Structure 1
Amino acid sequence: MVFTNGSSFYLNASLSLSLSLSLSNSFYLPGVAPQDFFKGDVLKVKVNKLSSTKTQLPYSYYSIPYCRPQEIVDSAENLGEVLRGDRIENSPYEFRMRVPWMCNIVCRITLNEKTAREFKEKIDDEYRVNMILDNLPLVVPVTRLEQDSHVLYQHGYLVGRKVWYAGMKVEKYFINNHLTFTVKFHKDEQLDSARIVGFEVKAFSVKHQYDGEWSDDTRLTTCDPHAKKLVNGSDLPQEVEDKKEIIFTYDVEFQESDVKWASRWDTYLLMADDQIHWFSIVNSLMIVLFLSGMVAMIMLRTLYRDISKYNQLETQEEAQEDTGWKLLHGDVFRPPVNSDLLCVYVGTGVQFFGMMLAAMIFAVLGFLSPSNRGGLMTALLLLWVLMGIFSGYATARLYKTFKGSEWKTITLKTAFMFPGVVFAIFFVLNGLIWGEKSSGAVPFETMFALVFLWFCISVPLVFVGGYIAFKKPTMEDPVKSNKIPRPIPDQSWYMSSTFSILIGGILPFGAVFIELFFILTSIWLHQFYYIFGFLFIVFIILLVTCAEITIVLCYFQLCSEDYRWWWRSYLTSGSSALYLFIYAITYFFTKLNITKPVSGILYFGYMLIASYSFFVLTGTIGFCACFWFTRLIYSSVKID
């Protein structure tokens, strides 16, 4: 862990807790064994997608005219990798373990107008080339100016760079055609074998030169393998223009490292400011303590006093003279408007909560580490499908409480409403990606697999849960509802539904917005997110905050003799999704450099899905807490 001066307050806590919180630092995955290499063994480099933070549109490596092997072989990819736009293929880059190799020529190409334009477009959009060796991604080491001893890593190297010459008033493009690879290994002295623990590169633009005609044994005059360096003339960069000849070359060197195989991902996932997460958690805990104090005051003081007073009333006339939440006992459990829709949203929220909780547990245990590419996405999809049984159960249980009888209809709505909205948005966005000919477009086979999971597994499980719930006896309300609704008095402006709903969403969002920054950075700036221990704590804090703020505002609402708490309890904590989307808009304009309209549509489309999912999750948490609270307090008083 990295600590700066002044962080001694958190030092002891961080040293003791970070080991348990960041369990995903040690990526020795069950079932994934390290590979031992002996000297001279062939190491084959695989290429992945070209990625850019400016366009958010990935492309396959061979979408531009890079050097190709004799036969391109696609690697088997899981569902998550396909959805992420990964396209892993073989490459002509091959090494021999612990055998340095200098000035190796990969291929020579001559650009035409089309290929030159393709390279220029990728350089304009700052695309980076991603490669993989022994499941380790290729990284470029970057030393921070203010902290020379600390090295950060960027994923992949730039295709090239663009230079503006002010004197000539001309813009030129230069391609990175010479790669200097550094493979770090941990040696086993007993077996004389080694395991790869690092894969780094430095990319250069070199206008290679040679004598005579080009042949298979041509020697470059700009690269001397005996001197192990580039020589005179190599300081001239390789320009990208029509009819220009480009020679792709690479060097490889091997460095012994003390890093063990099980900890090889620690360097890649090093956090520069670990204490920011601690400050976030402390800030969130202060919010939770404040709300807990409010709830404790309500439950232990106010409610206890009210219940004692109400139970001591001897006559109905005395009860009618009093005011407060007890007067609503004949209306508080009256079914709300659009009760079917509320049941659907609650059931969907239960499904989403189950998915998130299970995924968090697996992630904290290290099963969903970044070394398992696409594992998190695959796990989320499968867990969502399997949690359908809890969704159907929760929906039908609440629906039966509202005296509903058409359980098949309500279950069908639950199985199709939320997934249908998300799938429709995803389908439109995928069409836009397809139009850009990006590798991020989901193929037809994968789309069919998603539909199969939805219709053939998720929907039946939702119906199974609904059937089980509807066979159970109805949950009886603590008090009976009157036939005639009680008139609701005029409310103060601060007790209006709009004001209380908007206020209720601020605290849950405030508890997570710092961690949200790191999540958005990992998604849109293509960085690893692995601090699942911190995320799990923030998730628990979010649950507690949503529950407590909803209970507090619900109590104030009932005390003002307004019994319409059903939908308001859902929307109070669910309104935090509105602040999430506003934050996403702010992040787009302050942190991202997206210029293409399609890329902007993709960003806001996916953030709309994320905000909608966050609304369903937080709304359900608030509703369930309020549902438990109201049943508890009204079951504690005597009703004549």
Structure 2
Amino acid sequence: MERLRAWLLALAVVVVCGVAQVRSSASDHRYTAGDEVPLYANKVGPFHNPSETYRLFDFPFCSSAPVKEKKEALGEVLNGDRLVSAPYRLDFLLAKEEVAKFRTAVSKNYYFQMYYNDLPIWGFLGKVDNEGKADPSEYKYYLFKHLIFEILYNKDRVIEITVRSDPNSLVDLTQDEPVNVDFMYTVKWKETETPFEKRMDKYSQSSSMPHHLEIHWFSIINSCVTVLLLTGFLATILMRVLKNDFVEYAHDEESADDQEETGWKYIHGDVFSTSFIFILALVGVFYPYNRGALFSALVVIYALTSLIAGYTAASFYCQLEGTNWVRNLLLTGSLSYGPLFVTFCFLNTVAIAYKATAALPFGTIVVIFLIWTLVTSPLLILGGIAGKNTKAEFQVPCRTTIYPREIPPLPRYQQTLPQMATAGFLPFSAICIELYYIFASVWGHRIYTIDSILFIVFILLLIVSAFVTVAMTYFQLAAEDHEWWWRSFLCGGSKPSYKT
């Protein structure tokens, strides 16, 4: 027994816990005997609300050494990661208030997250014994005090790590009274033949996504059928209805006047009138699968694509004979950033009040502000100047009228809101199944790994949205409503209303 304890203690010294600086290179994950492999505690939070997370040492765990914070990248900070060294040592006394805090965490199924050699591990703080008890006041609350780490290695590299709690080593937290707790941990090393290049396969296979491919393909087939139906419908409009209209108008070409024309031909001189509201460019984003890399990519791509946004907005605005292009450029940079900044300030204030890890440190806020000031804004201005100087004359296929015609009263089903509701239903039906898995990975504990399926669904979404918008625009013009500019934009962008 004494030899076993000595062996476990020696292994614990090798394995855990970021007490000192790592002597080996963490970049290639190679270690030799005696090197300390870093173990970092990340955050804790309720299992059913992954967005609510706190620092591990906000709870009354004790540390035998000063807690050392890991230097993190911008994306990791934006992701809410707060990595600190995680030593597990020493006896200590839990006060009555600390017992209540742990009991609340156990009742809400709080889990912890750690990173060992960049490999994530998870576990629960405790468990609730409610078997055979109908009254919640009879529940028993237990804290796990013994963690067992099992590490697989291949030569000089760590391949896999798992952590489990000893079900026979529990602390009763049911009563509000001081409790003596002896936190323990055990480390077991096992050799494996798994190559280092495949060590992340476990986390992809743990996802339930690949096992439900039939559901994803059913969604794609459903979307393809929708595309085929819309294609036939639009072909009918373009090849029959419009053809008949052209033939009818051609017969009356010599004697026709505006009073005799009906339908979309009647307003042909009004449909290309300049819209009153500025038209802004849309910016795409990049979605990689990596810890913290998504948010870093979002910040960088948003900053760099501001050049495209400024060029597109200024060029299109000047084509429509706008005069105040500077104001248009300011709106381009603030209409998307402004609401986002206000929302961030509110959420960050709430996170600070609750001491959640989602609260950004002041230094990170300064970095983001400097990126927006020194990179985004200058690129936006340069793009706007280039767009203003390289604009081309806006070409329309017919002469526009000086005074737009009065729009006749429209039926209720052809007004803006009903058309938006109708136009958003089909595109949403094409992606609703995929949205479930996306939200499960964002707000749950799933891992989304089938990007090829997502790309196919995205292409189908674009096709369906375009076809539906074309059909809705035709019906609007046929009803002699020439204000189609923003209506077409709203019809194509009405899908988020279904997502909410």
Interval containing the TM-score (normalised by the shorter chain):
0.7 to 0.9
**Paired AA for residue 443 in structure 2:** W
Structural RMSD (CA): 2.4
Q: Aligned-pair distance for 1:205?
A: 4.8
Distance 1:78 1:305 in 2: 63
> 1:55-97, CA deviations, whole angstroms, 9 ceiling, x for partnerless residues?
532111111122424232211212221122111111226xxxx
460 and 304 in structure 1: CA distance in 2 versus 1, 3 angstrom threshold:
farther
DSSP 3-state at the match of 2:43: strand
Q: Is the 8 A contact 1:64 1:118 kept in 2?
A: yes
Partner of 2:20: none
Q: Is the 8 A contact 1:58 1:439 kept in 2?
A: yes
Which sections of structure 1, spanning at least 5 residues, go unmatched?
1-31, 94-105, 139-155, 188-192, 208-236, 582-640
Q: Is the 8 A contact 1:177 1:206 kept in 2?
A: no
> 1:1-33, CA deviations, whole angstroms, 9 ceiling, x for partnerless residues?
xxxxxxxxxxxxxxxxxxxxxxxxxxxxxxx96
DSSP 3-state at the match of 2:413: helix
295 and 264 in structure 1: CA distance in 2 versus 1, 3 angstrom threshold:
farther
Matched, 1:299 2:267: no
> 1:248-297, CA deviations, whole angstroms, 9 ceiling, x for partnerless residues?
11222233444332222222122332322222222222222222332333
Partner of 1:380: 298
399 and 264 in structure 1: CA distance in 2 versus 1, 3 angstrom threshold:
same
Report the count of equivalent residues: 465
1:195 pairs, out of 157, 160, 170, with: 157
Matched, 1:266 2:201: yes
Alignment of 1:409-428 (within 5 A): 409-428=327-346
130 and 577 in structure 1: CA distance in 2 versus 1, 3 angstrom threshold:
same
Matched, 1:546 2:485: no
> 1:277-335, CA deviations, whole angstroms, 9 ceiling, x for partnerless residues?
22222222222222233233333444345446545654042786443322221111112
**Paired AA for residue 213 in structure 2:** D
Partner of 1:281: 220
Distance 1:451 1:505 in 2: 36
DSSP 3-state at the match of 2:352: helix
Q: Aligned-pair distance for 1:112?
A: 0.8
Q: Is the 8 A contact 1:120 1:173 kept in 2?
A: yes
Partner of 1:369: 289
316 and 263 in structure 1: CA distance in 2 versus 1, 3 angstrom threshold:
farther
DSSP 3-state at the match of 1:92: coil
Matched, 1:238 2:206: no
Q: Is the 8 A contact 2:307 2:383 kept in 1?
A: yes
Greater RCO (CA < 8 Å, at least 6 residues apart): 1
Matched, 1:562 2:495: no
Q: Aligned-pair distance for 1:42?
A: 3.4
**Paired AA for residue 57 in structure 1:** E
Partner of 1:85: 80
Alignment of 1:207-246 (within 5 A): 207=169, 237-240=170-173, 242-246=177-181
**Paired AA for residue 159 in structure 1:** L
1:398 pairs, out of 282, 304, 316, with: 316
DSSP 3-state at the match of 2:314: helix
DSSP 3-state at the match of 1:508: helix
Partner of 2:13: none
TM-score by length of 2: 0.86
Partner of 1:175: 143
Partner of 1:148: none
Distance 1:34 1:173 in 2: 42
Matched, 1:487 2:422: no
Q: Aligned-pair distance for 1:406?
A: 0.7
Partner of 2:348: 430
307 and 460 in structure 1: CA distance in 2 versus 1, 3 angstrom threshold:
farther
Q: Which moved more, 1:198-207 or 1:174-183?
A: 198-207
Q: Aligned-pair distance for 1:574?
A: 1.6
Alignment of 1:311-322 (within 5 A): 313-317=252-256, 321-322=260-261
Distance 1:292 1:257 in 2: 55
Q: Is the 8 A contact 2:78 2:360 kept in 1?
A: yes
Identity of aligned residues (%): 31
1:462 pairs, out of 380, 384, 388, with: 380
Q: Aligned-pair distance for 1:534?
A: 2.1
Distance 2:471 2:28 in 1: 53
Distance 2:64 2:311 in 1: 54
41 and 449 in structure 1: CA distance in 2 versus 1, 3 angstrom threshold:
closer
Matched, 1:74 2:57: no
Matched, 1:204 2:122: no
**Paired AA for residue 133 in structure 1:** Y
Q: Is the 8 A contact 1:331 1:563 kept in 2?
A: yes
Q: Aligned-pair distance for 1:431?
A: 0.6
Partner of 1:6: none
327 and 461 in structure 1: CA distance in 2 versus 1, 3 angstrom threshold:
same
Distance 2:217 2:60 in 1: 47
DSSP 3-state at the match of 1:275: helix
Partner of 1:440: 358
> 1:576-624, CA deviations, whole angstroms, 9 ceiling, x for partnerless residues?
111111xxxxxxxxxxxxxxxxxxxxxxxxxxxxxxxxxxxxxxxxxxx
